[in-house]
Homo-oligomer: A and B are copies of this chain.
Amino acid sequence: MIELTKRDQAVLEAVVTDYIQTGEPVGSRTISKRYGLKVSPATIRNVMADLEEMGFLQQPHTSAGRVPTEKGLRFYLDTLVQFRALENQERALIREAFRGKEQDVKELLQITSQILSSFCRQAGVVLWPRLTMARLRHIEFIRLRPNQIMVILISKSGLVHHSVLVWEEDIPQNELDKYSRYVNELLEDVPLGDVKRRILEEMRKEKVLFDQLYTRALEITTRAFQANLEKSELFIEGQTNLLNNPEFADVDRLRRLLHAFEDKSRIIRLLDMTLKTSSGVRIILGTESELKELQEISLISSPYRRGDTLLGVLGVIGPVRMDYSRIIPVVEFTAGLLSQILEEPEEV
């Protein structure tokens, strides 16, 4: 592949920058005048023709300006983009928005999503920590009705999961209390992902010591855990921000998009894709997502963590044309801040 000259890159950057700002195809004149390249429109035209041939730009029709292709945007993001770092004032504003929400993790994540959406004027998303990645802090069994046990799981990060189990036998509350006390001791500070394995192991190892009581306690835990393992939740805020983008002025396009949002599992899958990169901001552009409903949008995401444990992913969803130079720093900063807030002092 042929290298791009400095000038080629400058022109590409100018086209992308202008296009991101205006949403309109960019002409040679505009670039020559507005972006301090000391060459004439005619020269720019030549360069642009080259860039088009290489697949970085495209023309909606003859005699229109150029628009960056996905390949062009990718190149821009990978090598050209100049981040506009956040002002101290902006950092302070974000910090302020978090203030007082540190207690309730659910609320915390929801606020995060709102912050992302309002600061980036797009939709903000935050994926709840998967149970596998969290650590268990507490478990509680409550008898709801005969044969129904509500199990409440609280992870270290403070998230509450609950589900109702139907049990063959009717277990009285005071016995359930014993179970939970036992399990709480047993599981202290063990990664939830290991819980099942660990339980089975213990059962094997000290089988004789377990009376039917404790076996059952572990059985219930296992089942409750299973029920919650797959639950994954998502906060999406600021969907209406998307309506402000001229690319979604078309109702039909919008319908498809919002439809994709309604079935959150798709977005979750998309975010899952980015969970693998253990850190840093990641961008998925249009068709890179491989989900046909989301081909017109792009995702800027970053994982957040608690100490060393990856908890989940947060990010911004918007049209492919977005102000990356600003949004990337915002996502990065927010992810860092959230991680920091979750990194509270360990309990004594």
> A residues touching B (Cβ–Cβ < 8 Å)?
103-104, 137-138, 140, 142-146, 148, 150, 152, 154, 158, 160, 162-164, 166, 237-240, 243-244, 248-249, 251, 254-255, 258-259, 262, 344-348
Instruction: Considering the complex, give the chain B residue whose CB is closest to the CB of A150.
Output: B154
Q: CA–CA, A142 to B153, complex, Å?
A: 11
Which of the listed residues A140, A160, A259 has the most CB atoms from chain B within 10 Å of its own CB?
A160
Q: What residues of chain B lie closer than 8 Å to A164, measured between beta carbons?
A: 103-104, 158
Contact A148/B243 with A164-B158, A251-B249 known, Cβ cut-off 8 Å: no
Name the one of B240, B248, B347 contacting A144, with C-beta atoms under 8 angstroms. Answer: B347
Instruction: Give min CB distance, A263 to chain B, whole Å.
Output: 10
Q: What residues of chain B lie closer than 8 Å to A346, measured between beta carbons?
A: 145
A347 and B146 form a contact (CB under 8 A):
yes
A142 and B163 form a contact (CB under 8 A):
no
Q: What residues of chain B lie closer than 8 Å to A150, measured between beta carbons?
A: 138, 154, 158, 160
- 18 example contacts (A-B, Cβ-Cβ < 8 A) are as follows A103-B164, A104-B163, A104-B164, A137-B142, A140-B152, A144-B158, A145-B344, A146-B347, A150-B160, A152-B160, A237-B262, A238-B262, A239-B262, A240-B255, A240-B258, A243-B258, A251-B254, A254-B254
Instruction: Considering the complex, give the chain B residue whose CB is closest to the CB of A164.
Output: B103
Copies in the complex: 2
Instruction: Give min CB distance, A226 to chain B, whole Å.
Output: 14
Q: CA–CA, A316 to B104, complex, Å?
A: 31
Instruction: Give min CB distance, A29 to chain B, whole Å.
Output: 31
A347 and B145 form a contact (CB under 8 A):
yes
For the complex with contacts A140-B152, A144-B154, A240-B259, 18 further pairs of A-B residues with Cβ separation under 8 Å are A103-B163, A103-B164, A104-B163, A138-B142, A140-B142, A142-B154, A144-B347, A145-B346, A150-B154, A237-B262, A239-B258, A240-B262, A243-B251, A243-B255, A243-B258, A244-B255, A251-B251, A251-B254
Contact A103/B166 with A144-B347, A239-B258, A262-B238 known, Cβ cut-off 8 Å: yes
